Amino acid sequence: MLASADRDTRYGELAARTPVTRGRYAGDVEVWLITGHDEIVTVLNDVRFSSDLTGQDRIPLPGAGLPDDLRTALTSTLAAYDPPDHTRLRRLVSHAFTARRVQRLRPRVEHIVDALLADLPAHADAAGTVDLMEHFAHQLPVLVIGELLGLPPEDQQQWRTSAEGLTSGDPDRVTTDARNLIAYMRKAIAERRDPQYAADDLLTALVRARDAGDRLTEDELVSTALGILLAGHRTTALLVRTMAVLVLTGALRPGAAGIPDLVEETLRRHGPAEIGTLRFAREPVELAGATIERGDLVQVVLASGNRDRRRFTDPDAIDPARPDKAHLAFGHGIHYCLGAALARTMAEVALAALFRVAPRLTLHRDVCLQTTDPRSTALSVRMATEQEDN
């Protein structure tokens, strides 16, 4: 994908000039890049494009290199299935992961946000600088998602460390951390199979979800829970970091626009997911003057579609009042992000709190605003002393 310095100027141009074009995936695999907003929507809605990459030996598949049992447990996710398997799995998960459950969690999100910000001085160095990414943006989804799933607070640092190990690039560490995460989740699931287990958490609801006598398999339970844990943590942390940079540089300001509109515009302009899940064509498809042949790989570029000037007026500007808010940050169609409501809740609460504390914070050094690598996202800020506040 584009280097961060090029993104602002290139994504909109790509979408308008070449909404469907040839590109490369993982360095040397030819794919079709879908960069236009409406073309992305078409692909994400079209059953002729499959998300099930089983047998696609041209590309490094998720879990490649892991033992079969670990790979199956990690990859039996909604994103990897087509209908009717996807329809069945989504229906079962949706019985448990409801909007009402997320709404009930909002007061706890507010408490967690306030507690994390209040605790920042304890992590500051002698000069009053602290890493807002490490001690706020990363910790928020860890604590919220852990509570949503019903995982003990004392375990949360353990699974965060293991989760980071999955993207370390070290095959031995990846295998070890995958095994640890899966074993941890299997143990948590086994506890919830006890009819006497009374907690009202999402993991318990997933274990007990039923639809016409059907239920989630053990691997589906593990993979779904870990998917919520891993994907929700990374993307939300990056979104909160981005909002913090925008607030501290004055690019986002409280005003006539409400917090939800500010969050939606941040998602459109600086969404944490640059690309969508890789797909392949089941049959020839004509799209924007291009012929995508049967078996061709297709990559939707969400960041480009969100800056398509054919769809959005002045797409590079942050305009929370823009009438068209149909961004693609959470995808589209049957694979629309199941955790979108939770991500929005965390982002809205975090943004409101950032506005409150911003007068006491300044960026310690220049930062890269747009990044998709959570390992290179330190956000050093300096906190005002009580004397400076006065």
How far is it, in rounded angstroms, from Cα 270 to Cα 172? 34
Helix locations, 18-75, DSSP H = 37-45, 68-75
Helix locations, 68-169, DSSP H = 68-75, 85-96, 99-118, 120-123, 132, 139-149, 156-165
Contacts of 156 (CB under 8 A, 6+ apart): 142, 143, 146
- E strand or H helix that includes residue 7: helix 4-17
Predicted pLDDT of residue 389: 55
What tokens does 169 get?
């690039």
All structural domains of the chain? 4-389 (1.10.630.10)
| Residue range 257-279, pLDDT digits in tens | 899 999 999 999 999 999 998 99
How far is it, in rounded angstroms, from Cα 228 to Cα 323? 31
| Residue range 35-85, pLDDT digits in tens | 999 999 999 999 999 999 876 766 666 666 778 788 777 777 888 889 999
Predicted pLDDT of residue 7: 57
| Residue range 340-354, pLDDT digits in tens | 999 999 999 999 999
| Residue range 217-267, pLDDT digits in tens | 988 999 999 889 888 888 999 999 999 999 999 999 988 789 999 999 999
* 60: preceding bond cis by omega (within 30 degrees): no
Predicted pLDDT of residue 386: 60
More confident residue, 170 or 97: 97
Predicted pLDDT of residue 195: 86
C-alpha distances in angstroms, 15 versus 112, 210, 329? 39, 43, 15
| Residue range 8-35, pLDDT digits in tens | 567 778 888 899 999 988 778 899 999 9
| Residue range 89-133, pLDDT digits in tens | 999 999 999 999 999 999 999 999 999 999 999 999 999 999 999
Angle (CA) 129-242-137 rounded to 5° is 60
Residue 376 has pLDDT above 60, yes or no: no
